[in-house]
C-alpha cells in the first residue's frame, strides 16, 4: 500500500511514526473510520469544529471516502475532544465498547435505525448484529474476510496491517502474508449490505433499485475476419459487433437509449471476459491501448490493467500513468521497460484535454492489475466515470519521465466495491505528495463540463458535451427492428429472500450452510467446499509431469479462481458472522411466511432472438441456466461470476419490453 501522504499515524508503541515522539493523549486524534491514533501536531490539517473533531477521518481514510461536509460553525471542540479522550482512557472498556461509545458520541444517537417498525427494515439490524467491523463498529466498508472468518473494512484492516499487526484483530489468528498484502474485497458482502440499505431507504419509496451484474450475452456477428485469425485465437480476432449505439468519441456513461439490445445502458459493475468483449459494449473501445481519445478533442475512457507500475489505485481515486515511453520495435504490443520520457502528446494530451474541460472519463479495471484491491479477479469491469482533476509529469519508478493523472470518481452509481446506496458526492482532493517533485503541473481553470448538481443531487453535464465528430455505430441501425426483450418476471421476492439469494454457495448455488470464505474472497458451504477437494491430499508426490518436483505441497485451487488455497484448507474456519446473518434471515423469513403469489416465470431466453435475420449461430447455449429462483440463488457479484452463467435478475419492476 503505497501511502502517498507523508503524514503517518502512531505506531503500535504509541509513537508518532512521522516525528517519532509519543504524543500526550491530548495531542492524539483518533480516526473515526479506522480507529488509528494520530499525532495532531504532525497533521497537515486539523479538524476545526466540534463535529469534525468527532467525525475526524485520518488522511488515509479521508483521502478517499466522503468527508463530512465541513460544518461552518467554529467551535469549542475541546469538550468533545475531552469526552473522547475520556472514553479512550477508560480502562474498564474494551476496545469494542470504546469504539461504540465514540460512535454514539459522534452521532448523538444510540443506534441508527430504530424506527421503521416494519419487519422488513430490520434486515439491516440482522447484518448489524453479526457483521460489524470490530474496528469501527460499522457494517464493513469494502469488506474483507480473514481466513479465520472475521470481517472488517478494507481500510480498517489495512490500517491494522500498516501498524505491523499480523494477527486477526478479533481472534488473534495469524493473518497470512498474502492476505496482509493483497486483501480481497468480499463482493457478496458488498452486495448484501447495499441491498439491505436500499431496502431500508426505499421501504416507503419507489421500486427497489438493484444493480445488475450482467454478463455479455451475445457474441459478435462476425468474430473473426480471416481464417488465420480464427486459428490463432482470440488475441488475433477482429473485435466484432458493437452492441451500443454511441459514437466512438462519446463521453460519459452509456445509457439505456444507446443500448437497443437490453435497453438498460452499461451499468457500473458489468463484467466482460476480455478487452474484446468490453469493447463490444462500448465502455472502452481500444482492445489493446489503455487510453481512448484524440489529442485535439479529449479522452473518453481508460483501462487500469496493471501495465504501468507507477499506477496507484485507491478505488474512488487513482493515479494513472500516461502511455508511451516504451520501445515497441520487434512487433511488440507492450513492453514493461521504459526507455524514454513520456510527453503530453497524443493520448497523453487527450487525457489532459479531458482534465482541462472536466469531461467524465469512463474507467474499466482489468484483472491484470494485481496490485489493486479494487481490480476484478477475472475479466474486465466497468467502474463508472471519473474526472481528471490535475495532471503533471514526474520521474517514474524506472527513472524516465511519465505523465501522471489524478482521477477522482464522479458517478451517480455506487462503485462495485462499496455498499453505499448512492453514487459519489464531491469529495476533497487527496493530498498527493509526489506533486512536490512534479513538473508541468496542469490544473483545470474553467468550470468542469461534468459536475455535481446540488439541486438534483446528481452528476450531470453542466456544459454541453463536445459534439461528436464521428458517426455513431451504424451496425445497429441497419435493421430497424428492435430486439424483443425477453420478458422475465418472477414472483416478487421479499427483501429477506433476495438477501438470502445473495448468499448462494458458488458450488451448489443454494443458500450457504456453514459458510466459509476463502482468502480470495469466495464463499461456499463448508461441505461443498470440502467435497471439492476430497481425494486430493495436501501432500502429493509428483513423479511425473515435466516439472521438477519442488515442494511437496499440493497446489489446491479455489473452486472459483486460480488462487492456491491449500493453507486455508488446512485450517478451515466457518465465517460465523456470515452464518449468523443467514440464520437470522432464514428464521425471520419463515416467520413472516407470506404466501407469495406465483407469477409465471417464463422463458428468459436472453434475447438471442434478434428480430433481424441475423445468422446467429445459436451457440452460447452452454448453460442450462436453471431458471432462477430462490433455490438457484446466483450470487450477483462480478467477483463471483465464475462461469458463463447468466445472471437473471428480475428485481426491476417495470422491466417489460415494448
Partner DNA sequence: TACCGTATATTT
Partner DNA sequence: AAATATACGGTA
* Minimum separation from the CB atom of position 347 to DNA (A): 6
- How many residues of this chain interact with DNA, rule: CB under 7 A? 55
* Minimum separation from the CB atom of position 344 to DNA (A): 11
For residue 620, give the 3-state DSSP assignment. coil
Query: Which of 2, 86, 171, 328 is close enough to bind DNA by CB under 7 A?
Result: 328
List the x/- string, 232-271, binding to DNA by CB under 7 A: xxxxxxxx--------xx----------------------
Q: Does 338 bind DNA (CB under 7 A)?
A: no
Distance (Å, whole) CA 371 – CA 311: 9
Query: Which of 81, 213, 308, 568 is close enough to bind DNA by CB under 7 A?
Result: 308
Which parts of 596-635 interact with DNA (CB under 7 A)?
none
The alpha carbon of residue 592 and the mean position of all alpha carbons in its chain are separated, in whole angstroms, by 33
Q: Which three cell numbers stand for residue 620?
A: 452460447
Q: Does 82 bind DNA (CB under 7 A)?
A: no
Q: Does 282 bind DNA (CB under 7 A)?
A: no
Toward DNA, which CB reaches closer, 136 or 299? 299
Q: Does 578 bind DNA (CB under 7 A)?
A: no
Toward DNA, which CB reaches closer, 25 or 226? 226
Answer whether 366's CB lies under 8 Å from 380's CB. Answer: yes
Output the CA–CA distances (angstroms, integers) from residue 66 to 57, 320, 390, 428, in the order listed: 9, 21, 19, 8
* Minimum separation from the CB atom of position 251 to DNA (A): 13
Q: Give the torsion through C-alpha atoms of 13, 18, 22, 23, to 10 deg.
A: -130
* Minimum separation from the CB atom of position 287 to DNA (A): 6
* Minimum separation from the CB atom of position 622 to DNA (A): 16
Q: Which residues pair with 365 in a beta bridge?
A: 304, 381
Q: Give the β-pairing of 361-366 and 298-304.
A: parallel
For residue 299, give the 3-state DSSP assignment. strand
For residue 409, give the 3-state DSSP assignment. strand
Cell 520521474, located at residue: 395
Q: Does 326 bind DNA (CB under 7 A)?
A: yes
Q: Which residues contact 109 (CB under 8 A, 6 or more apart)?
A: none
Query: Which of 9, 23, 47, 293 is close enough to bind DNA by CB under 7 A?
Result: 293
* Minimum separation from the CB atom of position 349 to DNA (A): 6
Which parts of 214-233 interact with DNA (CB under 7 A)?
224-226, 228-229, 232-233
State the DSSP string of 640-656: G--SS--------TT--
Q: Does 167 bind DNA (CB under 7 A)?
A: no
Toward DNA, which CB reaches closer, 38 or 318? 318
List the x/- string, 352-381, binding to DNA by CB under 7 A: --------------x-xx------------
Q: Does 339 bind DNA (CB under 7 A)?
A: no
List the x/- string, 453-482, binding to DNA by CB under 7 A: ------------------------------
Distance (Å, whole) CA 635 – CA 377: 15
Toward DNA, which CB reaches closer, 138 or 335? 335
Distance (Å, whole) CA 260 – CA 475: 12
* Minimum separation from the CB atom of position 298 to DNA (A): 10
Q: Does 60 bind DNA (CB under 7 A)?
A: no
* Minimum separation from the CB atom of position 348 to DNA (A): 8
Cell 459514437, located at residue: 247
Output the CA–CA distances (angstroms, integers) from residue 641 to 309, 509, 516, 525, in the order listed: 27, 12, 17, 17
Answer whether 242's CB lies under 8 Å from 230's CB. Answer: no
Distance (Å, whole) CA 148 – CA 134: 14
Span from 211-219, 320-328, 518-526, 636-644 in contact with DNA (CB under 7 A)? 320-328
Query: Which of 71, 93, 289, 508 is close enough to bind DNA by CB under 7 A?
Result: 289
Q: Does 304 bind DNA (CB under 7 A)?
A: yes
Q: Does 276 bind DNA (CB under 7 A)?
A: yes
State the DSSP string of 193-204: HHHHHHHHHTSS
* Minimum separation from the CB atom of position 295 to DNA (A): 3
Q: Does 298 bind DNA (CB under 7 A)?
A: no
Answer whether 35's CB lies under 8 Å from 156's CB. Answer: yes
Toward DNA, which CB reaches closer, 176 or 307? 307
**252-271 b/e (C-beta count within 10 Å ≥ 16 → b):** bbbeeebbbbbbbbbbbbbb
Q: What are phi and psi of 29, to 5 degrees?
A: -130, 135
Which positions touch DNA (CB under 7 A)? 224-226, 228-229, 232-239, 248-249, 274-276, 285-296, 303-308, 311, 320-321, 323-324, 326, 328, 330-334, 346-347, 349-350, 366, 368-369
Amino acid at each position: 500500500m503505497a501511502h502517498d501522504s507523508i503524514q503517518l499515524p502512531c505506531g503500535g508503541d504509541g509513537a508518532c511514526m512521522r516525528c517519532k515522539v509519543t504524543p500526550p493523549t491530548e495531542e492524539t486524534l483518533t480516526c473515526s473510520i479506522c480507529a488509528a491514533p494520530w499525532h495532531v501536531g504532525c497533521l497537515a490539517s486539523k479538524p476545526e469544529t466540534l463535529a469534525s473533531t468527532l467525525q475526524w477521518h485520518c488522511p488515509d481514510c479521508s483521502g478517499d471516502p466522503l468527508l463530512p461536509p465541513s460544518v461552518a460553525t467554529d467551535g469549542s471542540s475541546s469538550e468533545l475532544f475531552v469526552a473522547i479522550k475520556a472514553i479512550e482512557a477508560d480502562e474498564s472498556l474494551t476496545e469494542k465498547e470504546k469504539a461504540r461509545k465514540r460512535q454514539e458520541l459522534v452521532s448523538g444517537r444510540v443506534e441508527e435505525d430504530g424506527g421503521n417498525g416494519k419487519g422488513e427494515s430490520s434486515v439491516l439490524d440482522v447484518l448489524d448484529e453479526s457483521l460489524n467491523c470490530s474496528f469501527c463498529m460499522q457494517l464493513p466498508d469494502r469488506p474483507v474476510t480473514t481466513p479465520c472468518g472475521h470481517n472488517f473494512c478494507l481500510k480498517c484492516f489495512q490500517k491494522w496491517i500498516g501498524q505491523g499487526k499480523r494477527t486477526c484483530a478479533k481472534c488473534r489468528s495469524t493473518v497470512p502474508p498474502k492476505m496482509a498484502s493483497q486483501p480481497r474485497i468480499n463482493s457478496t458482502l458488498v452486495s448484501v449490505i447495499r441491498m439491505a440499505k436500499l431496502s431500508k431507504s426505499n421501504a416507503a419509496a419507489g421500486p427497489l433499485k438493484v444493480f445488475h451484474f450482467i454478463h455479455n450475452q451475445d457474441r459478435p456477428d462476425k468474430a473473426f475476419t480471416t481464417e488465420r485469425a480464427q486459428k490463432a485465437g482470440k488475441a488475433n480476432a477482429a473485435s466484432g459487433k458493437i452492441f451500443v449505439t454511441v459514437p466512438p468519441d462519446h463521453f460519459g456513461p452509456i445509457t439505456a437509449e444507446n443500448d437497443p439490445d437490453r435497453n438498460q445502458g452499461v451499468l457500473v459493475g458489468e463484467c466482460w471476459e476480455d478487452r474484446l468483449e468490453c469493447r463490444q459494449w462500448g465502455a472502452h473501445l481500444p482492445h489493446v491501448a489503455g487510453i481512448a481519445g484524440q489529442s485535439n478533442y479529449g479522452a473518453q475512457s481508460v483501462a487500469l490493467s496493471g501495465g504501468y507500475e507507477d499506477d496507484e489505485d485507491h478505488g474512488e481515486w487513482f493515479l494513472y500513468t500516461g502511455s508511451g515511453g516504451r520501445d515497441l520495435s520487434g512487433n511488440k504490443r507492450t513492453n514493461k521497460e521504459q526507455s524514454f520520457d513520456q510527453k503530453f502528446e497524443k493520448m497523453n494530451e487527450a487525457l489532459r484535454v479531458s482534465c482541462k474541460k472536466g469531461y467524465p472519463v469512463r474507467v474499466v479495471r482489468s484483472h491484470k492489475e494485481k496490485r489493486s484491491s479494487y481490480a476484478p479477479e477475472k475479466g474486465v469491469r466497468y467502474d463508472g466515470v471519473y474526472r481528471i482533476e490535475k495532471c503533471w509529469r514526474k520521474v517514474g519508478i524506472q527513472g524516465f519521465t511519465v505523465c501522471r493523472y489524478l482521477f477522482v470518481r464522479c458517478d451517480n452509481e455506487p462503485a462495485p466495491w462499496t455498499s453505499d446506496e448512492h453514487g459519489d458526492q464531491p469529495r476533497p482532493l487527496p493530498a498527493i505528495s509526489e506533486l512536490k517533485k512534479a513538473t508541468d503541473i496542469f490544473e483545470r481553470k474553467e468550470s468542469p463540463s461534468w459536475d455535481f448538481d446540488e439541486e438534483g443531487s446528481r452528476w450531470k453535464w453542466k456544459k454541453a458535451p463536445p459534439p461528436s465528430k464521428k458517426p455513431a455505430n451504424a451496425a445497429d441501425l441497419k435493421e430497424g427492428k428492435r430486439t424483443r426483450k425477453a420478458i422475465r418476471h418472477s414472483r416478487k421476492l421479499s427483501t429477506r429472500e433476495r438477501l438470502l439469494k445473495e448468499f448462494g454457495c458458488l458450488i451448489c448455488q443454494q443458500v450457504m450452510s456453514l459458510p466459509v470464505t476463502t482468502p480470495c474472497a469466495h464463499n461456499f458451504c463448508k461441505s461443498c467446499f470440502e467435497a471439492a477437494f476430497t481425494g486430493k491430499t495436501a501432500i502429493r508426490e509428483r513423479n511425473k509431469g515435466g516439472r521438477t518436483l519442488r515442494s511437496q505441497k499440493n497446489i489446491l485451487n479455489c473452486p472459483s479462481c486460480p488462487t492456491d488455497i491449500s493453507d486455508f484448507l488446512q485450517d478451515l474456519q466457518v465465517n460465523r458472522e456470515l452464518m449468523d446473518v443467514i440464520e437470522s434471515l432464514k428464521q425471520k423469513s419463515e416467520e413472516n411466511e407470506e404466501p407469495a403469489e406465483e407469477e409465471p416465470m417464463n422463458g428468459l431466453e436472453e434475447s438471442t432472438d434478434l428480430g433481424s435475420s441475423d445468422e446467429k449461430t445459436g451457440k452460447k447455449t452452454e448453460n442450462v441456466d436453471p431458471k432462477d429462483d430462490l433455490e438457484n440463488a446466483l450470487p450477483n457479484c462480478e467477483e463471483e461470476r465464475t462461469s458463463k452463467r447468466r445472471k437473471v435478475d428480475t428485481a426491476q419492476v417495470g422491466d417489460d419490453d415494448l
